[in-house]
Amino acid sequence: NANPRLAQVMPSLTRHLHDFCRENEITVDEYMAGVNMINEAGRMSDEKRNEGQLLTDILGMESLVDEITYKLADEAGDAPTATSILGPFWRKDAPRRKMGDTIVSGIENGDNTLMHGRILDYNTGQPIPNAELDIWHTAPNGLYEQQDPNQIDFNLRGRFTTGPDGEYHFYCLRPTSYPIPSDGPAGRLLTLLDRHPMRPAHIHFIISAEGYKPVVTQVFDRRDKHIENDSVFAVKDSLVVDFLPKEGDPKAQFDLHYDFKLASY
Ligand code: DHB
Ligand code: FE
């Protein structure tokens, strides 16, 4: 076969799908309900909405493949900062901002936070200059800017580049927990399963630098009441962080320190 990976995974996928149908004696009506759900997810998806991803995420699939991918990297001896799922709300080409800037615009009721730390070489512990930190998180109303007509384009997003010391710092918000969009098939399925749609408060990152393997990850607020039951199963212990009270900075009430570590190629 021209594509050995496809030749490996397709018979396995077919076998598992058939076993699933046999084991549960899936009827034609049940099969059609599933097909309709997939079609509906497709119809409501565009560059602002990824319902297919939401559907697989509430079934734990993205967090599972993240874990598998991370385990492979770990076995190769270079799984530095733990990874977490990308989720459906990343946008490419977030604005480049200057170190020390804020990513927050037009939000009065947020818990402003100074986030800072270094981006380091996992093997040597040395700072990585020219590393890029791409960040995105929700507003206090629980919405990413592309879901919210009241936020300016690319609000609460930005890309920062480290200098020679590998250091970064900027202002963002201490995020809030919020429900994944529940007005589509993923939300209906959660309701049918008696499950809640909440994600614990988190901030997303992609950390990258030339010569290093990029890390897609999130950090999670330890004090969030949903920290133990994320609706998409993405929390890892090493990504749980503490927002500390900050004194004497008119621009921030909280301080968040986190160092990111990258493995070289
Ligand atoms: C999902 C991930 C997120 O980070 C988020 O904010 C909402 C949903 C998800 O995995 O479906
Ligand atoms: Fe998110």
Distance 85 CA to ligand 2 centre (A): 9
- 169: burial class by Cβ within 10 Å (0-12, 13-18, 19+)? middle
Q: Which atom of ligand 1 is nearest to the CA of 202?
A: 4
pLDDT of 78 higher than 90: no
The identity of residue 27, as a single letter, is: T
Ligand 1 pocket at CB < 6 A: 53-54, 57, 62, 85, 87-89, 180, 199, 232
Q: What band does 146 get if pLDDT is binned at 50, 70 and 90?
A: very high
| 2-54 pLDDT per residue, tens | 899 999 999 999 999 999 999 999 999 999 999 999 999 999 999 889 999 99
Q: Which residue has the least CA distance to atom 7 on ligand 1?
A: 180
The CA distances from residue 34 to 5, 60, 183, 185, 202, in Å, are 27, 18, 17, 10, 31
| 184-220 pLDDT per residue, tens | 999 999 999 999 999 999 999 999 999 999 999 999 9
Q: What band does 168 get if pLDDT is binned at 50, 70 and 90?
A: very high
Q: Which atom of ligand 1 is nearest to the CA of 63?
A: 10
Distance 235 CA to ligand 2 centre (A): 12
Phi, psi of 65 (to 5 degrees): -70, -30
Q: What band does 70 get if pLDDT is binned at 50, 70 and 90?
A: confident
